[in-house]
Amino acid sequence: MVSLLRTSLAPVGKAIAAQHFSTAAVLSNDSYRFVVAGGGAGGLAIASSLARKYGDGNVAVIEPSDVHYYQPMWTLVGGGEKTLQDSAKEMSKLMPKNATWIKEKVEQFDPAQNLVYTSDNRKVNYDYLVVAMGLQVNFNKIEGLPEALEDPASGVASNFSPKYVNKTFELIKNFQGGNAIFTMPTLPIKCPGAPQKIMYLAEDYFRNKSGVRDKTTVMYNSALAVLFGVKKYANSLWKVVERKGIQVNLHTNLVEVMSKEKKAMFTITNPADNTTTNKIFDYDMIHVSPPMGPLACLKDSPVSDANGWVDVNKTTLQHMRFPNVFAIGDCSNVPTSKTAAAVAGQSGVLLKSLESVMKGEIPAEKYDGYTSCPLITGYGTTILAEFDFNAAPLETFPIDQGKERTSMYYLKRDIMPELYWSGLLRGVWRGPGIVRKALHAGLKN
Helix H or strand E segment including 69: strand 67-69
C-alpha to C-alpha distance for 438 and 445, rounded to whole angstroms: 11
C-alpha to C-alpha distance for 129 and 111, rounded to whole angstroms: 9
Q: Which long-range CB contacts under 8 A does 96-99 form with residues at least 24 apart?
A: 96/44, 96/47, 96/48, 96/51, 96/52, 96/59, 96/61, 97/51, 98/51, 98/52, 98/54, 98/55, 98/56, 98/58, 98/59, 99/36, 99/47, 99/48, 99/50, 99/51, 99/59, 99/60, 99/61
The residue annotated as part of the active site, out of 373, 376, 408, 419, is 373
> How crowded is residue 66: how many other Cβ atoms within 10 Å of its Cβ?
10
Question: Which of 286, 217, 223 is closest to 258 using CA atoms?
Answer: 286
| Angle value at C-alpha 302, between 301 and 307, nearest 5 degrees | 55
3-state secondary structure of 107: strand
Helix H or strand E segment including 198: helix 194-208
Are 264 and 280 contacting, i.e. CB atoms less than 8 angstroms apart?
Answer: yes
The residue annotated as part of the active site, out of 41, 102, 156, 191, is 191
373 classed as catalytic:
yes
The DSSP code sequence of 231-252 is: HHHHHHHHHHHHHHT-EEE-SE
Give burial (CB, 10 Å; 0-12/13-18/19+) of 380.
middle
Could you tell me where the beta strands, DSSP code E, fall in 379-427? 381-387
Task: Enumerate the active-site residues.
Answer: 191, 373
